[in-house]
Amino acid sequence: MKIIVDRYLRFVNENGHIKIMHKKTFIIDIFVDIVDNYGDMGFACESILALETEYPGIFTYVIWTNNAQKMTSFITSFGLWDILILDISEFWIIRKSNLAISMLHTSIPDLELFSPRALVLRIDYISLNPLWIEKNETEHISSTNDRQIIELIPSPLSHSAGLLPLFPSSRTKQSVTTWSVAIQVSEYGLLHTPGWSLSSFHSDSPLSSQWQKLQKSQKHITVFCYPETLHRIDWDSFPDDIIVYVFGKISSKRTNIIELGFLPSSEFYSLLDSSEFVIIRGEVSFAHMIQSSVPFFWDMYRDIGGFPEEQSEQFLSLMNANTEYRRLHQILNGKKSGNISYQDLSWVLSHTWFGCFRTKNLIHTIKKHIDRFYNSI
């Protein structure tokens, strides 16, 4: 216990925030449960970056999580340096919290561990249900008179808390982990894809030949979906002059299909934004794509109950989906049997309008409550 306390105080001292520590207004505790892939961590990091834009140099952020080691490794790709990451089980050791944000349904510690008059903003999962949106910015059932918990429900729908703003690649520093192969290849002039660069590369083929393939076409498609969904796509149907970037293993011998591993968010989003079309999974990726103009399909999260019937219909209604888009969506999400070809995807997407959804900014909603909280104390 002592080590944890000392580590926390040392962190504050080294970054010149010791005076801020005595002002109860300058620390934001962030609760993050790491459940699936990188989405939970990505959401937290993007939120911190956006908050730092609104409050430059004002706050110290402390992340409390169920996997501090994984979070620490991940956060460096965002260029976030002065973030303390601790195990959520040790929350009670440090101090009483005044202001906290619970990310994506992360459990909130016992309210007795918070200071009197504390504020907790509880960010829900993205919802497309108008009835559920009515709960946005209302008090949570566990809220008390002296320790308030406010529900914030992200959504592109009106009356919601909004969505995280589009993630611009220029906002973050270059990842401290730029893979040596990317450096070597770019030195030899083989990296010519405009607007983005790969930092991770997983392929059984020789690296030099893989990079040379990137020059053959300016057109590419990105597929980031659940493993079982990869088997529903007819990979042999994709033309040779289209580069297909796949996050995952499909055991294809096609030379234009390139398997990728982890990419820093700035590069991941640049890849999505420059694609002809995208198949994505996860709420964070969905929130980005719904605000872009790139055609996409959404491989929705399937809980124990299987196909998310209600959420799927809400999504299709939001997209004003035509019959063919609905059919392919249902195949991708396991509702209907069958495989999907490139011709299916390209025809449907060329006959479907994709505009940018203009949504509220979730960070502005959070800022409104933070400002109101500090103006009241």
Q: Residue 44 is part of a domain; what is its CATH number? A: 3.40.50
In this model, does residue 278 exceed pLDDT 70? yes
| Same domain, yes or no: 130 and 254 | no
Angle at the Cα of 182 from the Cα atoms of 276 and 71, rounded to 5 degrees: 85
In this model, does residue 307 exceed pLDDT 50? yes
Domain of 148 in residue numbering reads as 2-163+359-375
114 has which bridge partners? 97
| Same domain, yes or no: 159 and 265 | no
Range in 25-29, 208-212, 224-228, 259-263 with the lowest mean pLDDT: 208-212
State mean pLDDT over 323-338: 93
| Same domain, yes or no: 314 and 247 | yes
State mean pLDDT over 316-341: 93
| Same domain, yes or no: 127 and 182 | no
In this model, does residue 184 exceed pLDDT 90? no
In this model, does residue 205 exceed pLDDT 50? no
| Same domain, yes or no: 175 and 242 | yes
Sheet holding 27-32, edge to edge: 83-87, 60-65, 27-32, 97-102, 114-123, 147-152
| Same domain, yes or no: 110 and 259 | no
| Same domain, yes or no: 267 and 332 | yes
Confidence of residue 145 (pLDDT cuts 50, 70, 90): confident
In this model, does residue 277 exceed pLDDT 60? yes
Our count of domains for the chain comes to 2
| Same domain, yes or no: 52 and 71 | yes
Please write the tens of the pLDDT for every residue from 40-59.
Answer: 888 999 999 899 889 988 88
| Same domain, yes or no: 149 and 188 | no
Which position has the token pair 């080294």? Answer: 14
| Same domain, yes or no: 239 and 211 | yes
**What span, in angstroms and rounded, lies between the C-alpha atoms of 245 and 23?**
49
| Same domain, yes or no: 327 and 186 | yes
Amino acid identity at 145: N
Say whether pTM exceeds 0.85.
Answer: no
| Same domain, yes or no: 12 and 133 | yes
In this prediction, residue 164 carries a pLDDT of 92
In this prediction, residue 185 carries a pLDDT of 30
